A and B are shown apart, each in its own frame.
Chain A
Amino acid sequence: MKFDTPATPNPIDRLRVVGKPHDRVEGRLKTTGAATYAYEHHSVPSDPAYGYVVGAAIPKGRIKSIDIARAKAAQGVIAVISHENAGPLAKGEFYTQRFLAGPEVDHYHQVAALVVAETFEQARSAASLVRIDYLKSDGSFDLEAQKRTAPVAKQGPYGGPTETAVGDFAGAFAASAVKLDETYTTPDQAHAMMEPHATMAIWEGDKLTCWTSIQQMNWGTRDLAKTLGIPKENVRLISPYIGGGFGGKGTAQSDLVMAALGARAARRPVKLALQRPLMFNNLIHRPATIQRIQIGANLDGKIIAIGHESLSGNLRGGRTEPTTLSTRALYAGANRMTRVRLAVLDLAEGNAMRAPGEAPGMMALEIAMDEMAEKLEMDPVRLRILNDTQVDPEKPERPFSSRRFVECLETGAGQFGWSNRNATPGKVRDGRWFVGMGMAAAIRGAPISKSGARVRLDSGGVVTVETDMTDIGTGSYTIVAQTAAEMMGVSIDKVVAKLGDSTFPETPGSGGQQGAPSVTAGVYAACAKLREAVAQKLGFNSVDLVFADGEVRSGNRAVPLGAAAQSGDIIVEDFMEYGDLAKRFAQQTFGAHFAEVAVDSFTGEIRVRRMLAVCAAGRILNPKTARSQVIGGMTMGIGAALMEEMVVDTRFGFFVNHDLAGYEVPVHADVPHLDVIFIDELDPTMSPLQAKGLGELGLTGVAAAVANAIYNATGVRVREYPVTLDKFLAALPDVT
């Protein structure tokens, strides 16, 4: 099926199942521990061996020699794999890192060796017996040091152009009545998901099957096959449940590659989970940024010049952190400039993490807007409303498909009690606490991609859906089941959703918040085909056919749906692909975040008191799972604002705080009551479901809203995330 004209009325519009707050269909399995994650498929192979990774002990240099004799001789050890015996490894398409060091070492904790043994304990014990001699060489670890020298990046497949210019930015900025020119920094961040990267690999002849934890199944098969130099058809990946990914499990990484190599060498199934302290320097992360924002406005608050320059670093060949994406689309202004530069750093690879580019970009831009509002003596909500645009500010001939940004701002301000905010910072006290309010905009692109599904109807009227979509805790199972139920006119308990198997029809998986709109459109297409097959089988030929209550009806005739499969299951497959609507319309999701924080006037401790997000993201397929995604984003934003930072030791070249004690993420006590409001919206340019993703929207802008609230509470502006008390303690009033 091809979607190339805006949506017209269709079976989804009945909203009997879609749009309802259904519980997660797999929720019971997860809360009772019955859902099997990658490391937990105990029954599949009867005799798995266990792998344990030895990470490189240096950040840059080469392995001079590697002595595996003692490890090999240790009790229970089956194989020890290093670059000397692994055979040639190529690169996948998405990541630039190499998954096995040797002889060159590219970054700290890159895999230097894998020990495979009969038990986990034997593998771990023998890992310490692998003797590696390194020759260290100088590396580059300091982003700040390359502030002046790093070149403008080449445009890659993601993130858009690295330089944009509209009008005369420099001239307009210079001539602006009110100007802001500030620099903001965001740190390296870890995904820090609960479930570590884990894989169980099994070879049968030249066919490889892996139970793993990966967000994009077809990227995973592609990249693993390329890395190993085998045909993609020979690789099957299975990821039915994923214990958090946040972009950190996009495609094949070291656990998958090393488990496959280990299983090949051991001629046994091999289970491998990366040990937590290795994950931070071994896997991808969100890279640190240094961002300069310039905004020029007239006295009335209209922006006439907006500029955003950004620097991040990466391994050679790695991609940029495209922080300027949102600045290109969020506010009006005739004169515009963005520029993204890229430094080479010998740290672990920087790559996708929830709202890549947009999350750190908005951390900077939305503090800048708060500062601009103050310079203009204008309310921050008002300033944003004033600079709304209904057309792509870079291409005025291209309208937004839907943009209810102003409604998000106004609804949020009203519901949050924004009018009670004292615009003068440091003036509101509650006992020994300074109290402040802050807000920020939210914006995140709304991509949608070709996505397929296979549906089967049996004689009991049960509809089984298969796609290679994944559920990373987001609710994919549930919205897939809801879509099929709506299309086929059955209740949700008559639908079986099967996900996370690379042999199922291809979807773009979970990433870039395109999973929900894409997969549901694919299920729509397959179900539309199934409806035709059912109609034909049952001998209906009218166009007024209704699928409802488990029946197929036309005029006075009603037949149970399952009757169509009396003589055998009906199986059809289809996909949804797209025309040029995304070119003709700027497709984005919008929102507004509001936060109230308290800052201890003695110690500077920051506690978020309440938060509200208002989101406009097309049709909300399931308000319950959608809300969970947004409050998850808000929680992550609290972490970004207040605590999350992988600290680089620029002498020794690694992220120092590489475990969950050192890398702090919010705990329950940090997260207050969070409210979410969805603006009633349909976007007919997206798909027949008129829905957009929102898992990443919920994160963009959150950290800035918190930072702006801290400023409003204390009067101290911090432009270096995370906003920790040591950065403003000296500026607080004396208390002794």
Chain B
Amino acid sequence: MRSFTFERVTSAQEAAAKAQATPGAKFIAGGTNLLDLMKLEIETPQHLIDVNGLKFDKIEKTEDGGLRIGALVRNTALAADMRVRRDYGVLSRALLAGASGQLRNKATTAGNLLQRTRCPYFYDTNQPCNKRNPGSGCAAIAGYSRQLGVIGVSEACIATNPSDMAVAMRALDAEVEIIDASGRTRKIPIADFYRLPGDTPDVETALSSGELITAVTLPPPLGGTHLYKKVRDRASYAFALVSVAAVMQRDGTGRVAVGGVAPKPWRIEKAEAELRVGAKPFSARLLADAKPTKENAFKVPLVERTVAAVMHEARQK
């Protein structure tokens, strides 16, 4: 871990302004991912801005009947919130499928959105990795890639986004609220929040320098059956091989986002027209452009089978 300076802030705009003005600055909230990465010198911020003092720890109703989740709401609190459990069950289930109780107690909503990939080569600073060290190459593509992405990937990077929460938020069409150094706020639909790697896998989101996430908003309740199915080698405390977040309606329509397969939660709205036909045509459309490696080719049929499992479960509810 490299030495760094540290400060606490009391306003969001101040945080954003300081982040923009200070070279090598990063925000820290729960620190469940950032601190590990700093110990391994994968992240080497020169300055940390502690945003835990900001009052973004509330879940409130929005004017249109949705929910506004403060950036600092802890994963445990979000999963346990009665309104989330009742109206956005997929989100609650996704959160509880991730990490451990201890980590969820610390991890925040914004921090969860911004957690970095778990690609093992990203985690080893002796190995080439375009995401960690742009231009150094990708060790994963021809290496140990079983856990890694099959779609939305590039020649430069096949890392996946490890968040469960984000997959549910993609199915719900959440929006990310942001403030910048000048105090301007804007909203980014979660569909546009993550950037595909292309030639610049080090650039992961649509956030500009200094921009701070203040909240995530959910649309009015969608009704339907909310399911989150996470497939992994052990029963708990592992990242998804494949996960499926689904909101299924009685008429067979629905929304389905998939995790564990791409650099972002993977959802293609047009493919959802196929849901009424079945998991196979839906998955075929969803993963039409898949470019798996030999090691992770199983994820393509696994997505189809997991979607089928979710549809089967939805029909039984």
Contacts and interface: CB of A to CB of B under 8 A. Distances in A.
B305 A604 contact: yes
Nearest to A638: B234
Interface in B107-152: 118, 120-121, 123-124, 126-127, 139, 142-144, 146
Interface in A705-735: 722, 724-726, 729-730, 732, 735
Majority DSSP secondary structure for residues of A touching B: loop
A605 B302 CA distance: 10
Given A652-B139, A652-B143, A736-B278, A667 B236 contact: yes
Contacts of A725: 231, 233, 241, 298, 302
B146 A726 contact: yes
Contact of B234 (A652, A659, A664, A732): A664
Contacts of B236: 667-670
Given A128-B2, A736-B279, A666 B143 contact: no
B302 A729 contact: yes
Interface residues of A, number: 41
Contacts of A228: none
Interface in A105-135: 121, 124-125, 128
B304 interface: yes
A669 B143 CA distance: 30
Given A125-B3, A667-B236, A656 B308 contact: no
B41 interface: yes
A661 B118 contact: yes
Chain B CB count within 10 A is highest, among A667, A669, A726, for A726
B304 A736 contact: yes
A670 B235 contact: yes
A523 B244 CA distance: 59
A668 B127 CA distance: 33
A58 B126 CA distance: 8
A601 to B, nearest CB: 9
A602 B312 contact: yes
Contact of A649 (B3, B144, B235): B144
Interface string B162-180: 0000000000000000000
Contacts of A668: 236
A277 B40 contact: yes
A652 B127 contact: yes
Interface string A569-613: 000000000000000000000000000000010111101000000
B249 to A, nearest CB: 19
A643 B233 contact: yes
A600 B313 CA distance: 13
Given A121-B1, A603-B309, A729 B234 contact: no
Nearest to B128: A652
Contacts of B2: 125, 128
Nearest to A727: B298
Given A603-B309, A735-B305, A651 B235 contact: no
B120 A726 contact: no
Interface string B225-239: 000010111111111
Chain B CB count within 10 A is highest, among A605, A607, A647, A670, for A605
B231 A656 contact: no
A662 B146 CA distance: 11
A124 B231 contact: no
Contact of B143 (A58, A651, A736): A651
Contacts of A125: 1-3
Contacts of A669: 234-237
A669 to B, nearest CB: 4
Nearest to B142: A651
A658 interface: yes
Interface string B208-236: 00000000000000000000010111111
Contact of A642 (B3, B146, B233, B298): B233
B232 to A, nearest CB: 8
Chain A CB count within 10 A is highest, among B41, B126, B238, for B126
A667 B234 contact: yes
B234 A656 contact: no
B238 A607 contact: no
A667 B309 contact: no
Contacts of A664: 233-234, 238
A655 B238 CA distance: 19
Contacts of B76: none
B301 interface: yes
A676 B222 CA distance: 50
Chain B CB count within 10 A is highest, among A121, A432, A662, for A662
B144 A657 contact: yes
Nearest to B304: A736
A538 interface: no
Interface residues of B, number: 42
A667 B302 CA distance: 23
A656 B143 contact: yes
A605 B279 contact: no
B83 interface: no
B144 A124 contact: no
A729 B301 contact: yes
Contacts of B232: 605
Interface in A599-654: 600, 602-605, 607, 642-643, 647, 649, 651-652
A736 B280 contact: yes
A57 interface: yes
B75 interface: no
A416 to B, nearest CB: 22
A643 B234 contact: yes
A643 B111 CA distance: 29
B160 interface: no
Contacts of A656: 120-121, 124, 143-144
A670 B278 contact: no
A725 to B, nearest CB: 7
A724 B302 CA distance: 12
B306 interface: yes
B302 A607 contact: no
A657 B120 contact: yes
A664 B237 CA distance: 9
A605 B231 contact: yes
Contacts of A643: 233-234
Contacts of B312: 432, 602, 735
Given A277-B40, A657-B120, A667-B236, A730 B139 contact: no
Contacts of B120: 656-658, 662
B298 A729 contact: yes
Contacts of A277: 40, 123-124
B234 A666 contact: yes
A661 B117 CA distance: 12
Contacts of B40: 277
Contacts of A605: 231-232
Nearest to A134: B126
Contacts of B241: 725
Nearest to B313: A432
Contacts of A729: 298, 301-302, 305
A57 B144 contact: no
Nearest to B231: A603
Interface in B275-313: 278-280, 298, 301-302, 304-306, 308-309, 312
Nearest to B118: A661
A59 B83 CA distance: 53
Interface in A659-706: 659, 661-662, 664, 666-670
B115 to A, nearest CB: 12
Interface string A326-346: 000000000000000000000
22 contacts: A277-B40, A432-B309, A603-B231, A605-B231, A607-B235, A643-B234, A649-B139, A649-B144, A651-B142, A652-B127, A656-B121, A656-B143, A658-B120, A664-B238, A669-B237, A670-B234, A724-B233, A725-B298, A725-B302, A726-B146, A729-B301, A736-B279
Given A651-B142, A729-B302, A730-B301, 12 more contacts: A125-B3, A128-B41, A277-B124, A603-B309, A642-B234, A647-B146, A667-B234, A670-B234, A670-B236, A725-B298, A736-B304, A736-B305
4 shortest A-B CB distances, which residue pairs? Answer: A602-B309, A669-B235, A726-B298, A57-B126
